[in-house]
Amino acid sequence: MSYILKRMPELPEVETIVSALRDGHSKYRTSVIGLEIRDAMVLWPKTLAAPSENEFKERILGRTITGLSRRGKFLVFSLTLDQLLIHLRMSGDLRMEGATDESGNQKAFEKHDRLALNFTEGSRLVFNDTRKFGRVWLTADAEEVTGGLGPEPLDENFTPEQFHQMLISRGRQLKPLLMDQTFLAGLGNIYADEALHLAKLHPLTNTNTITPIQSKKLLEAIRAVLNEGIRRNGASIDWVYRGGDFQNYFRVYGRTGEPCPVCGTPIDRLVVGQRGTHICPNCQSLH
């Protein structure tokens, strides 16, 4: 089975992009760490969430990228002053390329390019976003943008006990809560489905009924599917992200009517919180 997905990049896809840009592998070829920004080109002003276009261009001039990390689904570029955040949303992508062609002229931009950072050594980082949902922030403190996010599920300091208390205090349907970025950062539709199947929990389970053992198994399942997604460079997404092959190893997502890998029962599709949801009705019965 091999297919391309149509949905927003989740934690493993963003982590894969961060790793490739930071370490200079895959399609990016060179690391962005240590590159000095000569100037910025804003090709679609609404891509900037903050500050204004003029202030953005002025503040980012001459800054050097000193680090790159991920918070939830945000890419966080640390600069010598300020931090640059990018959220890819539904169709955003980043590419590194030479800023000039063989004749030394500025290389033409592609149709859906929205913003570019030109570096003093001759390369540029381009943000391409077909559907125009992606956003860019330049801020003195990344927490001004990411402060409302929930814990990172892969954080070693995030304990099963904390997770259980968070679950039972909410009293919501399980899957919509897991996808709420203020509850848990980075989890989206696909990895939520995969984790719930691995943990044998129904997505409509009320979270205040979950036991400590169930919540521990769920956190372990979330971490397992996210780590496997990262190991496989994420799951390829339509025309935007084609870097990984985790889509070929899904347990339930997108497999409606196919046999459950555990018990053989046909996978069912239902709608939970307005999102297509895939379960095994036998392994994930709603008690």
Q: Is 258 a catalytic residue?
A: no
Residue pLDDT tens, the chain, 287 long: 333 334 568 899 999 999 999 988 767 678 999 999 999 999 999 999 999 999 999 999 999 999 999 999 999 999 999 999 999 998 888 999 988 888 888 899 999 999 999 999 999 999 999 999 999 999 999 999 999 999 999 999 999 999 999 999 999 999 999 999 999 999 999 999 999 999 999 999 999 999 999 999 999 999 999 999 999 988 876 545 556 788 888 999 999 999 999 999 999 999 998 889 999 999 999 87
Dist. CA 87–CA 79, nearest whole Å:
17
- Output the CA angle 189-68-132, nearest 5 degrees: 50
Say whether 9 is catalytic: yes
Quickly list H helices, the chain: 11-23, 53-60, 143-146, 160-170, 174-178, 189-199, 212-231
Q: Quote the pTM value.
A: 0.91
Torsion of CA 63, 64, 65, 66, to 10 degrees: -120
Residue corresponding to tokens 């006990």: 161
Q: Residue 40: its pLDDT value, please?
A: 97
Whole-angstrom distance, CA of residue 218 vs CA of residue 222: 6
User: What is the phi/psi pair of residue 211, to 5°?
Assistant: -85, 165
What 3-state class would DSSP assign to 20?
helix
- Active-site residue, from 7, 9, 175, 176: 9
Place of tokens 């001039």: 61
Pick the catalytic residue: 10, 13, 15, 194? 10
What pLDDT score was predicted for residue 237?
60
C-alpha–C-alpha distance, residues 28 and 234, integer Å: 16
275 is an active site residue: yes
Of the listed 73, 114, 135, 217, which one is catalytic? 73
Output the pLDDT for position 1: 32
Which of 36, 170, 275, 281 is an active site residue?
A: 275
pLDDT value for 242? 58
Catalytic residue at 10?
yes
Domains, in order of start, for the chain = 32-146 (3.20.190.10), 160-279 (1.10.8.50)
| Cα→Cα distances 17→188, 193, 263, Å | 17, 22, 35
